[in-house]
Amino acid sequence: MKQILPVLFLFILFGLPKTSLATISFTIDNPVREGDYFILDATLSGISSASAFVQGVFTHTSSPSYFGFTWGQKEDWVSYQSSTTKDFITQNFPILLKDTLQKIWVRPDFESSAFKGSGDYFLKLRRYTGSGDSSAGDSNVLTIYLLAPTPIPTETPTSTPTPTAEPTLTLNPTKTPTPTPIKTLAPTVAKTPTPGNSPTIKITSTKPSLASASGTIAGEILGESTSAALFVPLENGREASAGAEIQTEHQIIFKYTFVFGSILTAISGGWLYFRHRRD
């Protein structure tokens, strides 16, 4: 019997797998609060695989019930579930690599029945190998103080007072005024004034006209002065200038005298021209 014990001890020492003798280190540290969630530093070593799946959980110091959320692979918060499946774990829980410092995000679920109000709570990570739905071990535990969010007061709507009905005033419709017909005025026909009733407007000009200038020349040629104009009243109430009539007669005499003289001059000139050629 004494010879069998040393052999059995050697078999146990060298016969068991080396993984069973390895020490697994699973730690979390340095929790940083960011709003309503925490960021943890997590490390895992001593496991046979290259990685593991983890889930964060909170528990009250006086209650073992778990609750909380973990930021998962699908970039969404994964709620704690008391029972889950292998596929759900491998597809949703965050992956923690072996011998690597990683950041894990966790958030308490303030609407869970396991939350007991403001106070101290325990926080840890649970490890899953991915080969089953049960936990393979937990990390160390941190004590976290959770502050219950302040509820937003709900305003109770006050009863709206019923307005007092005001009497409706009935306004008498105003009478439509009857339009007064507009009298059409007969167009006034402008009467043409008769020569005997309207006086002649006399316009004097400092610039002598051609007629007066020619009359003056004619008067001077004939030796008669026509510078003075005498206005003689006529029967129809008009006035005429005697000097103007004399100027007109002189202009006619001067015109015919000039024409007659021009003819005589042309005939005399022609006669003298032919006579000179004949000689």
AA letter at 88: F
Is the residue at 164 inside a domain? no
What is the pLDDT at residue 266? 84
Q: Give the CA count within 13 Å in the CB-facing half-sphere of 198.
A: 8
Is the residue at 173 inside a domain? no
Degrees to nearest 5, angle at CA 136 with 80 and 93: 40
CATH code, domain with 41: 2.60.40.10
Q: Is the same domain home to 230 and 122?
A: no
Is the residue at 114 inside a domain? yes
Percentage, residues of the chain above pLDDT 90: 42
Is the residue at 14 inside a domain? no
The pLDDT of residue 52 is above 50: yes
Is the residue at 69 inside a domain? yes
Domain that holds residue 247: 210-278
pLDDT tier, 73 (very low <50, low <70, confident <90, very high otherwise): very high
What is the pLDDT at residue 264? 85
The pTM assigned to this predicted structure is 0.49
Is the residue at 1 inside a domain? no
The pLDDT of residue 28 is above 70: yes
Across the range 105-119, mean pLDDT stands at 96
Q: Is the same domain home to 139 and 215?
A: no
The pLDDT of residue 262 is above 90: no
Is the residue at 178 inside a domain? no
Check if the beta carbon of residue 107 is closer than 8 Å to that of residue 38. Answer: yes
220-241 residues labelled b (16+ CB within 10 A) or e (exposed): eeeeeebeeeeeeeeeeeeeee
Decide which of 49 and 207 is more confident.
Answer: 49
The phi and psi torsions of 41 (rounded to 5 degrees) equal -95, 120
Q: Is the same domain home to 99 and 215?
A: no
What is the pLDDT at residue 219? 43
Domain boundary among 131, 146, 161: 146
DSSP string, 117-141: SSEEEEEEEEEE-SSSSS--EE---
Domain boundary among 114, 146, 178: 146
Decide which of 265 and 77 is more confident.
Answer: 77
Is the residue at 187 inside a domain? no
Q: Is the same domain home to 141 and 214?
A: no
Across the range 33-58, mean pLDDT stands at 96
Across the range 103-118, mean pLDDT stands at 96
What is the pLDDT at residue 20? 46
β-strand partners of 120: 145
Q: Is the same domain home to 120 and 48?
A: yes
Q: Is the same domain home to 139 and 214?
A: no
Which of these, 59, 81, 60, lies nearest to 70 by C-alpha position? 81
Decide which of 220 and 193 is more confident.
Answer: 193
Q: Which two tokens stand for residue 118?
A: 């403001």
Domain boundary among 127, 146, 165: 146
Across the range 251-273, mean pLDDT stands at 79
Which of these, 106, 78, 110, 107, lies nearest to 91 by C-alpha position? 78
